[in-house]
Amino acid sequence: MTPRQLAFRFFFSRKGFLNLTSSFGVVGLALGVASLVVAMAVVSGFVSTLRNSVIDVSGDIVVYRHGLLDIDAPPADEILDGLVPKPFKSAPFLMIEGLIAHKGKVSGVLLEGLGESAFKGVLDYQSRVVEGKLDLSGDEDGAVPAAVGKTLAEEYGLKIGDIFRIVIPDSKTDQGDSLRPRLGKFKVVAKLELGRFDYNRRYVMAPIEGVQAFSQSEGKASGFRLRLQDSEQAQKIAFVINRDVGGSFWARSWVDANRNLFEAAQLEKLIIFVILLLIVIAGAFNVASGLYIHVLKRYPDISLLKAMGYTNRQVVKVFALQGFFVGVLGCLLGLLLGLGFCAAFVVIQDVFQLLPADIYTIDKVQVELNLLDLLMVFIVSLLICVFSTLAPALRAARLVAAEGLRYE
């Protein structure tokens, strides 16, 4: 009988390794693996949620100019010809800062003017609409149609059809050092869920023509936003633009604009993995202690095997394989539990607010099960379990056959 067959027989026999004591070790190992799976899925989902919210509302790359640029100047396609892989899409935008004034309350907002080209494959605002309709055409009652972040709407009690005002300094006043406020009327046509608390609380979007007229910047834009075929190449392409275009233009990718946030998230993922790995290690040593007891119970059998010609290496293999079987069982059970916990997490966060938006910048995360993360959790956990069972397996090989057979 080969060591593999013997290990399998020992594992499932009446005095086998799979008993109550070792079952606790398997459960501990499975819980550790499940914790790792859930943690990796939630952190990966957190990063993906942030990534999508950034790209949907700002594009892959933002190209600015020091000072406003003329919309009638050479379009982005000509400026970036040969620098950005085609096909890519671009759209001009005009961004200004102001104060929203409504019902006696005032706070700072970012007012962005966008043209129709922005909604044709550059930015994805349609999927972000939670109430109303994203129709920025027309100018009813002297008010510019606008879409606002949902948190801003909640704080000011804004409903679809409500009129609110934004105040900016009059940049063309002729009154010396004094600044006259310039007041603009806007009408709420849609509420947006932008995926981040800071966006939802400060963002107002309107047609670029309306923002140009309001800010007395007719025919001007702050820059243009780009959407690439591959968003992961944005950082490299932004570097090429900054190197080769130069002049008054400079580019910033979605990665560069949120570098600290994404680096912090990746660091948190690594720290969480290391901490939760301790649970797996504890479960693995419980398995090892169970195997050690199993070795002592099998002393007569080990002696008999040695008397029949089994070498120390073969004895080690028999008991190491039993540890391997338990490791595979615990890791597979842990993966299944982890998948179940992930599904439960999705339901729970819909019922309870697990993430305070003012702290984590987002109030809901998607759970992303990355195959590479699952493989890493499975392999690392299995290796820890196998290495922890080598000590009792080596102990079995060192047992003296004569001592085990003396009283048989």
The DSSP bridge pattern shows strands 89-102 and 144-149 to be unpaired
- Bigger pLDDT: 102 vs 79: 102
Tens of pLDDT, residues 12-25 = 665 555 555 567 77
Region of poorest pLDDT, from 76-85, 99-108, 262-271: 76-85
Tens of pLDDT, residues 91-126 = 889 999 999 988 888 999 999 999 888 888 888 888
Structure tokens at 206: 């309107």
The DSSP bridge pattern shows strands 203-207 and 105-114 to be parallel
Confidence of residue 42 (pLDDT cuts 50, 70, 90): confident
Cα separation values, 64 from 114, 212, 288, Å: 15, 17, 61
Q: Which residue carries 């606008």 as its tokens? A: 146
Given this model, what pLDDT does residue 191 score? 93
Tens of pLDDT, residues 345-384 = 888 877 776 666 555 556 677 788 888 888 988 898 888 8
Tens of pLDDT, residues 386-402 = 888 788 778 777 766 55
Q: Name the residue ranges covered by the structural domains of the chain.
A: 3-53+261-405, 61-227
Q: Please say if the pLDDT value at position 231 is more than 70.
A: yes
pTM assigned to the model: 0.71
Q: Of 328, 325, 323, which Cα lies nearest the Cα of 379?
A: 328
The answer to whether 88 and 230 have CB atoms below 8 angstroms apart is no
Please give the backbone phi and psi of residue 367, each rounded to the nearest 5 degrees, phi first.
-95, 120
- Bigger pLDDT: 273 vs 361: 273
Mean pLDDT calculated for residue range 238-250:
80
Given this model, what pLDDT does residue 155 score? 92
Q: Mean pLDDT of all residues in the chain? A: 81
